[in-house]
Amino acid sequence: MTIIPGGVTAALGFTAAGIHCGVRKNKEKRDLALIFCEKPCAAAAVYTTNRVKAAPIYVTMENLENGMARAILANSGNANACAPNGMENARRACAALAKRLGIAEDEIIVNSTGVIGMPLPIEVIEAGIPALADSLSRDGTPAAEAIMTTDLTKKEFACQITLGGRTVTLGGIAKGSGMIKPNLATMMAFVTTDCAITSELLHEALAASCGRTYNRISVDGDTSTNDMSAILASGLAGNPLIAEKNADYDTFVAALDAVNLHLAREIARDGEGATKLVTCRVTGARSEEVAAALSMAVISSSLVKAAMFGADANWGRVLCAMGYSKAPFRPEFVDISFSSPAGTVQVCAQGRGLPFDETLAKEILTQKEITILADCHEGDGQAECYGCDLTYDYVKINGDYRT
C-alpha cells in the first residue's frame, strides 16, 4: 500500500466541489459539499446507532436500498435533525441536485451536520446547487472544507494498492470534532475508490472497517444524530471484480482500514479544544474485544483526559477506568507506561505504583502525541483506541455553540 497525495477525488472517475451557499452566516466558510462520479457506483454506508436520527440519514437509507449511488451531497451549519420538514427538505435537496446533474434522486447520498433542531434553510441550498455543480473539479479539498464545523483542520487521505495487476486507488474525507463517539459510523466520513467490487462486499468491508477505526475513537462520549460513513466504488480501476472474499478482498479491506484509521485518528487529534492526540494501546488482554473495551474506557475518561491536558502522570485514573469498563482483566497483573517522542516511562507494575522520574514523565506528557500503554499479561488480545485531552477550550466551544 502506497500513501499518495489527495483525498476524495484521488480515485478514477470522481470530482468534487465545496462552496458557501448561505447555510452558515460566515461567508468565508464553505457550507455545501458535493462528491460526484462520472458513472454509477457500488455504494454502501453505515449510520449512527442513536435512536434519534437526522432526516437525511433516513433518506440515504432509502436511496441506498439498491446498493448503487453516484453522488454525495452534504452541508455543514445545520444538522437537519429534530427539525420541521426534515424529510421533505432532505428530499428537496436531492431533487434539486438530481435535476442539475441529470441523475436519479435515489443515486444520491445526503447528509447534514451542525446545530440540531433548527429548520434547514432549503432555499439557500437549492439556490446554491447550480454553482456547486459548476465548480466540480479534480480538487477534493473544497469539499473537505465544506463539511467542517468546529474542526480546525481538514481531513483527507488517499492510498493505492495493486489488484490483478491494476492500480486501485482509495481516498476519503472526514469531519469531527465534537459529539464524537461513533457507534458503527462516525460523524461524517466519505470514501471513494475506483475498485471494482460488488455492493454487498463493499458494505461488508465498510462495516467491518468502521468497527476497527471510527468505533475506536471518542472525543466526548456523545454519539451524534448524524453519524455516517459512506463509500462509493466506481470500478474504473479495471481490476478483476471482487465478488468473493479472496486475497484481493483482503488487500482492499487493509487499504480501506488505512484510509479510515487515518481519518479517525485525525478526528481524535482535532477533537474540540484538543491540544493532544491520546492513544491507549492495550496488549496482553484475553481477546481483541476486551482490549478494545479497556482502551475505549481509558480514552473516554474525563479524568484521564484532564490529566493528559495537565501532563500529569496520574496512572491511577487509567487503571480505575479499565476497572469500570465491564471488560474482564486482573488488575494485579497490569503494567502501565506513558510514551511519546520524548521517551517512555513505566509507572505501574502488577497493579502497583512504581517510583518514577516525574520530570521525565512531565516531558513525555507535554508532547502532542501521547500513548498510554497497558499490558494485561493475560493473553494475546490487543487494540488501540484514540482520543484527545479535555481542555478549557472544549468547555468554551461547547458552552456557547449555538450563538
**Interface with a second copy, residue 365, by CB under 8 A:** no
Q: What angle do CA 277, 281, 283 make, to 5 degrees?
A: 175
Q: Which of 25, 26, 51, 102 binds a second copy (CB under 8 A)?
A: 51
- Helix, strand or coil, per DSSP, at residue 206: helix
Q: Which of 322, 370, 385, 388 binds a second copy (CB under 8 A)?
A: 322
HSE value, Cβ hemisphere, 13 Å, CA-based, for 166: 18
C-alpha cell at position 188: 461524517
Integer CA distances (angstroms), 277 to 272, 327, 387, in order? 12, 24, 6
CB of 230 to a second copy, least distance (A): 20
Q: Interface with a second copy by CB under 8 A: which range of 12-20, 37-45, 168-176, 215-223? A: 215-223
CA–CA dist 247, 245 (Å, integer): 7
CB of 292 to a second copy, least distance (A): 16
HSE value, Cβ hemisphere, 13 Å, CA-based, for 113: 31
366 assigned to active site = no
**Interface with a second copy, residue 184, by CB under 8 A:** no
For residues 19, 23, 24, 30, the Cα torsion angle rounded to the nearest 10 degrees is: -10
**Interface with a second copy, residue 324, by CB under 8 A:** yes
Per DSSP bridges, beta strands 228-233 and 188-193 are parallel
Peptide bond into 177 cis (omega under 30): yes
Per DSSP bridges, beta strands 32-47 and 68-76 are antiparallel
Q: Which of residues 261-320 bind a second copy (CB under 8 A)?
A: 300-303, 306-307, 309-310, 312-317, 319-320
Pick between residue 4 and residue 306 the one whose CB is nearest to a second copy.
306
**Interface with a second copy, residue 398, by CB under 8 A:** yes
Element of type H or E holding 189: strand 188-193
**Interface with a second copy, residue 57, by CB under 8 A:** no
Active-site pick, 48, 186, 225, 251: 186
Q: Which of residues 95-154 bind a second copy (CB under 8 A)?
A: 115-119
- Helix, strand or coil, per DSSP, at residue 157: strand
Pick between residue 69 and residue 318 the one whose CB is nearest to a second copy.
318
CA–CA dist 391, 274 (Å, integer): 6
CA–CA dist 167, 93 (Å, integer): 35
- Helix, strand or coil, per DSSP, at residue 375: strand
**Interface with a second copy, residue 349, by CB under 8 A:** no
**Interface with a second copy, residue 400, by CB under 8 A:** yes
**Interface with a second copy, residue 64, by CB under 8 A:** no
CB of 249 to a second copy, least distance (A): 32
Q: Which of 123, 222, 357, 369 binds a second copy (CB under 8 A)?
A: 222
CB of 199 to a second copy, least distance (A): 28
Pick between residue 199 and residue 223 the one whose CB is nearest to a second copy.
223
Question: Other CB atoms closer than 10 Å to residue 390's CB: what's the count?
Answer: 26
Q: Interface with a second copy by CB under 8 A: which range of 161-169, 193-201, 279-287, 326-334? A: 326-334
Number of residues that bind a second copy (CB under 8 A): 66
Of the candidates 86, 83, 91, 74, the residue with the CA atom closest to the CA atom of residue 21: 74
Q: Which of 2, 39, 66, 84 binds a second copy (CB under 8 A)?
A: 84
Q: How far apart are the first and last CA of the chain?
A: 45
Residue ranges in contact with a second copy by CB under 8 A: 49-53, 79, 81-84, 115-119, 178-179, 181, 183, 220-225, 300-303, 306-307, 309-310, 312-317, 319-325, 328-329, 331, 348, 351-353, 390-392, 394-403
Active-site residue numbers?
A: 186
